[in-house]
Amino acid sequence: MPALFFPRRYPPLLRVAALILLSLAVAAFSEKHPGLENWSGNLAYPVHWIDMQVADNWRALHQYLQDRNELLLQNKRLREKIKVMQPQLLENEILHNENRQLLALLDSFPRPPGEMATTQVIAENFSPGSQLITVNLGSINGVKVGQPVLAAGGVAGQVIHVAQRSAQIALISDLDSSIPAQLADTNMPLLVNGTGHINILSVPFQSRNTALKVGDHLVTSGLGGRFPPGLQIGTIADVVHNGDEPFAQISVRPSVSLGQLNTVLILLKNPPPVQHGKS
């Protein structure tokens, strides 16, 4: 094996120490220049490309191997679901029309839906604390850092790094994630933080006599302008009032099953906020 950079004549301890210092320098440098980190994501693309091929084939094989009974059961389940959903859809349409009328009364126009891009999950990195996924769209598809990511059920996360053909997404369960939220039926501003564990989110800074209770639905509030308002985040699963703690501990179950994401939507263009009145 060739001894790159550090010739063998230096003692091992010195070489190890030099490499540790180099690591710290690399980390500090990439922190200062996020562009470098986005660029270096391209180096990882060959690995992610193979990931994508393997995952695709695995999914195809899984579908192929599903036996007849399972498919029949699934079919039955989906039929039942349609029976429940159809009246809801009708109700939805009525509400939608009513909403348009009300918005017209307020002299504002219904929001156009933002521009979305469908993308496939090609790699995952789930460790305690960080929950990252990589998708197969990048800067050449118009993906930018900070764009919200949706999945079936609601909000999934947001874009944190963008390479040319891939982008990395921090899920809402990531320890660094925090999104402005509100209760589905009130305007009370809240935050929903990730806990580092998939399928558990938390609501910080709520006093012990908080009005929040188990079963409440949380949606995005749209404050800050990063996430459009009204998207499902999750349902409150547990409220603990611990005697010694200054705040109530509130855990939230995300409405998206974050562990089983195959396809996600990236919101490329955030719709402009609703303008009330004439501007």
Residues in binding contact with other proteins, number by CB under 8 A: 62
Q: Which residues of 225-234 are buried (b: 16+ CB within 10 A; e: fewer)?
A: eebbbebbbb
CB 201 within 8 A of CB 213: no
Min. distance of Cβ 84 from other proteins in angstroms? 28
CB 258 within 8 A of CB 173: yes
- Per-residue contact track with other proteins, 76 to 115, x per CB under 8 A? ----------------------------------------
Dihedral (CA of 238, 258, 182, 104) sign: negative
CB 124 within 8 A of CB 258: no
**Rule CB under 8 A: is residue 230 a binding residue for other proteins?**
no
Query: Binder to other proteins among 2, 87, 215, 277 (CB under 8 A)?
Result: 2
**Rule CB under 8 A: is residue 255 a binding residue for other proteins?**
no
* 182-221 residues near other proteins, rule: CB under 8 A: 195-199
User: Residue 18 is encoded by which pair of tokens?
Assistant: 């030099």
Query: Binder to other proteins among 38, 51, 137, 250 (CB under 8 A)?
Result: 51
Quote the CA–CA distance of 7 and 9 in Å, as a whole number: 5
**Rule CB under 8 A: is residue 60 a binding residue for other proteins?**
no
User: Residue 221 is encoded by which pair of tokens?
Assistant: 């509030």
CB 157 within 8 A of CB 279: no
Quote the CA–CA distance of 202 and 195 in Å, as a whole number: 7
- Which stretch in 70-78, 88-96, 125-133, 203-211 sits in contact with other proteins by CB under 8 A? 125-133
**Rule CB under 8 A: is residue 72 a binding residue for other proteins?**
no
Binding positions for other proteins, rule: CB under 8 A: 1-6, 8, 12-13, 15-16, 19-20, 22-24, 26-27, 30-31, 37, 40-41, 43-44, 46-48, 50-51, 54-55, 58, 121-134, 160-161, 168, 175-176, 195-199, 258-262
